[in-house]
Amino acid sequence: TATCVPCGSALGATWDPDLVARIGGVVGAEARAKGARVLLAPTVNTHRSPLAGRNFECYSEDPLLAGTLAAAYVRGAQAQGVATTVKHLVGNDAEHERYTISSDIDERALREIYLRPFEIAVREGGSLGLMTSYNRVNGRWCTEQPELVGGTLRGEWGFEGIIASDYGGGHE
């Protein structure tokens, strides 16, 4: 058995970080009670197309709202002694050919829209993990972009946690 909680987009519609933190705490406590120590959540991808099949998992099309709610969820879950893995970094907003597609995103949009929820989850929430996406960004696999992983995540944000690829998302 498991506790049933609203999906990410329903939680996003509440605009309530305190509620999302409490839900993160409930999910974290339940995971810990079942012997799990890591959650593959929350999902903070930006709703850019109604055809993205996993939009229901994500909080919002607004990067500030998505990041704020993700940080709240992270704090609630990790207060229970369970690590979170914020996903799917980055530009994962299509289901069609999601294992091979390239999301072509200019630098400003990448930082202000796509990376912003992840940054808030790391800096304000203290997430212990991030998961990269299957897709490419600007022609290169997300898992194979040292300027993103080493430069932005580790360098600029000071992220010291685990960076995992999505299952089968590594290519070299």
Q: Which of 16, 18, 62, 166 is catalytic?
A: 166
Model confidence at 50: pLDDT above 80: no
d(CA 152, CA 11): 28
- State the maximum Cα–Cα separation within the chain, in Å, rounded to a whole number: 44
3-class DSSP state of 80? coil
Is the CB of residue 83 less than 8 Å from the CB of residue 39?
Answer: yes
- Per-residue pLDDT of 111-149, as tens digits, reads 999 999 999 999 999 999 999 998 899 999 988 888 988
Residue 166 annotated as catalytic: yes
**Helix, strand, coil percentages, rounded to 5, for the chain:** 40, 15, 45
Which strands make up the sheet holding 140-141, listed edge to edge? Answer: 102-103, 136-137, 140-141
* pLDDT for the residue 83: 98
Is the CB of residue 58 less than 8 Å from the CB of residue 6?
Answer: no
d(CA 5, CA 101): 31
